[in-house]
Amino acid sequence: MSEAHSPPARLLPTVSIVEETMRRARRAVAVALLGAGLMAALLLGQHQWSAAALQRAADRHAQAHKLAGDVRTADQQLAMAAQMAALTGDAAWIDRYEKLVPELALAIEHARLLAPQVDTERYQARTSDTTALLARMHASATEALKSGAADSARALFDSERYLSQTRLLREATEELTRASLAATEQEVNRQHTAALASTAAVLLLALAVGGGLWRWLTLGLGRSRHTLLEAEVRIQRLAASDLLTGLDNRAALHDAMHTLMSRARRHQEELAVLMVDLDRFKPVNDRHGHMVGDLVLKEVARRLSRCLRGSDLRARYGGDEFVVVVDEREGPGTARAAAERIVESLAWPMQFGEITVNIGATVGIARFPHDATTDDELLRKADSALYRAKQEGRGSVCLYDAALDEALAERHTLEVALREGIAAGQLVPYYQPIVDLETRQVRSVELLCRWKHPERGLLSPDKFIRVAEDTGLIGPLTMSLLRQATKDLPRFPAHWRLSFNVAPQQIQDETLVPALLAQLREAGVPPQRLDVELTETALVNDTARAREVIMALKRAGMTVTLDDFGTGYSSLSYLAEMTFDKIKIDRSFVRTLRSRPESAKIVAAIVGLSRSLGVDTVAEGVETEDEAQMLQQLGCKHGQGYLFGRPGLARNVGPLQSVANADAWVLAD
């Protein structure tokens, strides 16, 4: 790899060449296959047509044979029936005679249909008078037989006239059947010859067309091969580049790091790997779409090129993560200086038409060979440093610390155990009362969480909630708790409401409100008994989305509380933009009511503001009677804290209606 590392040249022509080459190859193959298919269809069609014609001719010939026999048989039986009727005068023979007459006529008619027209016309000319005369004679003989004059009928059948006419008809009929047999045999021979001729013609055509198609295919594939060989080098370059940003991709990054580390090892130099993660990038995609997100990534690549040296390696590691590799020949501060330039450069707003985007960057740094000696290990440790930088806040830069690995291992173990614990039902709901400060009547309970860890015992939320939020487990955890809480609600007085907190990450979940409503319907709990608490952090991340969620919750019948009010920098703007039902005063103001006069003034201001907006207030962290009385004097309506009860299990809560102090709220084990 060269010293100067610059983005690769435009690679779009390579893609076009490959597509054009494949198009040519596909076209050549398609034409060849189409031609072959047509030839096969033609051969098959010709074969089927010839076979069908030959079969039809054979069937007609067989029918002619059968008709010739049928005519002879019918004629013989007719003559015998006539003689027997004349000799015996038996009515049965007369009936048989009359039945055979139409059968013979029908057989002769079928034979006429199979014979050539000229033979049919000749037969008609020879037999028309004879047929009519014989019909009259048959009728006379039949009448004589029926009247008992058998001698007259016998004389008629023995007469020379009758015998000559029947002989003439028989000869004509035999001539007609012979003509039918000869005609059908000629048709069979003709169809057989035609089938052989058409098959030979189609085969010759197939050979000619097949030869042309083979030449077309050979030439087309040859051109494709030549084009692909020309594009091979550019395709290899494409495989090593990120198509969107033009920077090296992950595979090329590893290859380049091997080269840089080998050179640094030979010259006893040091390298630094910077893992760069973009801040607030996901809201950009969610709010403006992936097209704007792609423009942001391209702009990030351009800014990295401007604020780094030409020899610094730059790569897109995946998603919104980038990796920079710098040499530290100029001193150990080179990497941190580069990281700070990156953070500063990416903090400036990006303008895309009328859209302004503000992101930022957080950077983790690992050094070679001090922290690791392989590329995978360097990247892993840079990622560990990045994780710590994120914990310190956006825009931070952190160097790798060996203690990070232990912390990450512990965090991973906790994550796995938490995932299993949610599935096993180890996360259980605890409840803390929220009371009316004047009457000390319990108005609602807040749903809190405790983890009954099989090895570490009962864990409070501060030990695992951050992990749940960072790993996406906060949603399943919340729904698991709510599912259990809806089963506990029937134990509580009907006027008690259930308050629970929704994490900032859950605001982006489009299924949040439908999932809550589905759980309530399943448990038969009306939405009016739920109060959803949102922190200011949830509002800061995506104000538009938070507003949508709040309106959806209120339309469903739930109430919404702004939690930890006063700890942020823009809470007043949220009160102006959104409609809350309650405001919770942060415990930091309650704890310092007596020691800091400013806290009392702030609480009084919050209460006054809430009253003017028609919103109730709840003070958190009330631990002494003195604090409760002072809050009541300042106008605060509700209180929550250890003074009224520590979090407890459902079986230890009801049926209490009011509490004067913590002793009245039975503690849970």
- Segment 606-615, tens digit of pLDDT: 999 899 889 9
Q: Is the pLDDT of residue 368 over 90?
A: yes
Long-range contacts of 265-268 (CB under 8 A, 24+ apart): 265/369
Cα(319)–Cα(249) distance, rounded to whole angstroms? 11
Domains of the chain and CATH, by start: 13-220 (no CATH), 250-403 (3.30.70.270), 431-651 (3.20.20.450)
Q: Is 470 exposed, middle or buried (0-12, 13-18, 19+ CB in 10 A)?
A: middle
572-596 pLDDT, tens digit each = 667 777 889 999 999 989 999 988 8
For the chain, how many helices (H) and strands (E)? 20, 16
Residue-level pLDDT at 7: 41
From 46-50, 305-309, 334-338, 517-521, the region with the lowest mean pLDDT: 46-50
Question: What Å distances lie between residue 178 and 1, 64, 222, CA to CA?
Answer: 98, 9, 66
Cβ-count burial of 269 within 10 angstroms (0-12 exposed, 13-18 middle, 19+ buried)? middle
Mean pLDDT for 463-487 is 92
Contacts of 368 (CB under 8 A, 6+ apart): 261, 264, 270, 271, 272, 273, 378
What residues form DSSP beta bridges with 315?
248, 323
- DSSP designation for 308: S
Residue 338 in this model has a pLDDT that exceeds 90: yes
Band the pLDDT of 666: cuts 50, 70, 90: very low
pLDDT tens digits for 189-212? 787 787 777 777 777 777 777 677
**Neighbour tally for 25: CB within 10 Å:** 18
Backbone phi, then psi, for 326, in 5-degree steps?
-125, 150
- The answer to whether 520 and 489 are in contact (CB under 8 A) is no
Asked if 433 and 659 count as a contact pair (C-beta separation under 8 A), the reply is yes
pLDDT band at 542 (very low <50, low <70, confident <90, very high): confident
Mean pLDDT of 624-652: 92
For position 340, what pLDDT does the model report? 95
pTM (global) more than 0.85: no
